[in-house]
Amino acid sequence: MTIEQPSEEDLSQASPENINKMRKFVNNFAEKSGSFLHPQSEITEFLVIGLAKNIDEVGRPLCPCMFFEDKEEEIEKKFWICPCEEMQRWKYCH
């Protein structure tokens, strides 16, 4: 199964500045921590867009793969802020 690269519409969901910031962050974190990104680069790119969108919305890179009823409450818990606890533990990101 293949997934298409994010479209311009997908990319427009977050600011270009935060998309670039999160792309660098994700790649640097993976390299320094020994974590693994998804083998399909398109999945990683959608993750980057989601992280950037959450920074635009609430000021923190909350995991975009999770649903949060109250994002502000989740920020206080810090568990799902990238790199989330699960990623740090298992060294794998979606």
Name the catalytic one among 65, 82, 84, 93.
65
Yes or no: say if 50 and 56 are a contact pair by the CB < 8 Å rule: no
- Let me know if 38 is exposed, middle or buried by CB neighbors in 10 A (0-12, 13-18, 19+): middle
Yes or no: say if 27 and 33 are a contact pair by the CB < 8 Å rule: no
Is 65 marked active-site?
A: yes
> Which residues are catalytic, by number?
65
